[in-house]
Amino acid sequence: MTSRETKAVQCLGFVDGQTGAIVPPIHPASTFERGADLGYPTGRAYGRADNPGFEPAERVLTELEGGQASLLFASGMAAATAVFLSLDPGDHVVAPRDMYWALRSWLAGYATRWGLAVAFVAMDDLDAVRAALRPGETRLVWVETPGNPLWTITDVEAVATLAHRAGAALAVDSTAATPVFTRPIALGADLVMHSATKYLNGHSDLIAGTLTTARDDDLWRRIKAFRAQNGAIAGAFEAWLLMRGMRTLHVRARRQAETAMRLAERLSIDPRVARVLYPGLPGHPGHDIAKRQMIGGFGGMLSIRLRGGRPAAIATAAAMTVFLRATSLGGVESLVEHRASVEGPDTPVPDDLLRLSIGLESPEDLLADLDQALSSSGG
């Protein structure tokens, strides 16, 4: 059986039948010719819903996630909000406290104005999840694991069981885990979301999002119609860039996870660092669950909390020369960010925390940069 890694590298064995090209083409067409009977012999009518350039990336992602179908969106936020906006006003949803800040803000603001009832809970506390569910009313449970930027781990299989018993679907934001390390559908999830801007593309030159479904059910058909009718689609070149990026996903993600583990172990014994948040460390609260559901690695993201508090965190980030001070994650370059400054006064993120996205640089260079920055800032 051909591995998922090989299928991604070879784009499911793609070879152009006319030219012999081994790279899928870009399809910029916005419309498609009808047949003489005014039907659609190719199955495509208009580029907003039927662009063939989306299909290679969607098929590969479906294979990687072990799902039935995937959809490409204009951004991670477009993909995530499409799920919630495919629900009915009055529906109840449960979401994590530790999650991507922009989506948390959207849920607390726009989603409630849309008419959704949103409960934020600690997803690593199964009793809290159980208490938040309203059987017959809760339509969706949203999970992000590892949860950005504290990297909390949610037991996907256990939460799926609770959600399904209550009559709710389970959607998992698996951006940080990637399908290399976690396959939520195999653990019981109904939907998997990625900010494809991050690891799937991996080159910091694309904004896109994806959804993958376990089955072609009513919720998926609503989401598909929402994308077509609201125009939340990526461009033709963006679709091509995403496919280009996914071909190297496995090798990138594994290298980044290996380096992240090495940095986490070193920083965990550094007296200038109060705490390292990384699920690969045995002392992480979610380590045992992560070992069970993250196969082959724990991802390329970690956060550190500094003994010197906010001043030391900001000074350390300012002193870095290899790590770049920038928002985002999952690219080939390593990034550092003081998340509390970015998220503002309502953030739940500690102000002594720095988020590190590990790239493909030499681990020795990254360690040296962290060491000199911690020394120059006073830790």
Euclidean distance between CA atoms 163 and 169, whole angstroms: 6
With beta carbons less than 8 A apart as the criterion, state whether 56 and 95 touch.
no
The phi and psi torsions of 141 (rounded to 5 degrees) equal -115, 125
So which residues are the catalytic ones? Answer: 48, 100, 173, 198
**What does DSSP assign to residue 300?**
S
**What does DSSP assign to residue 282?**
T
**What does DSSP assign to residue 176?**
T
- Closest by Cα among 25, 21, 93 to 56: 25
| One-letter amino acid for residue 75 of the chain | S
With beta carbons less than 8 A apart as the criterion, state whether 354 and 364 touch.
no
| One-letter amino acid for residue 132 of the chain | A
**What does DSSP assign to residue 29?**
-
Structure-block tokens of residue 279: 């699920």
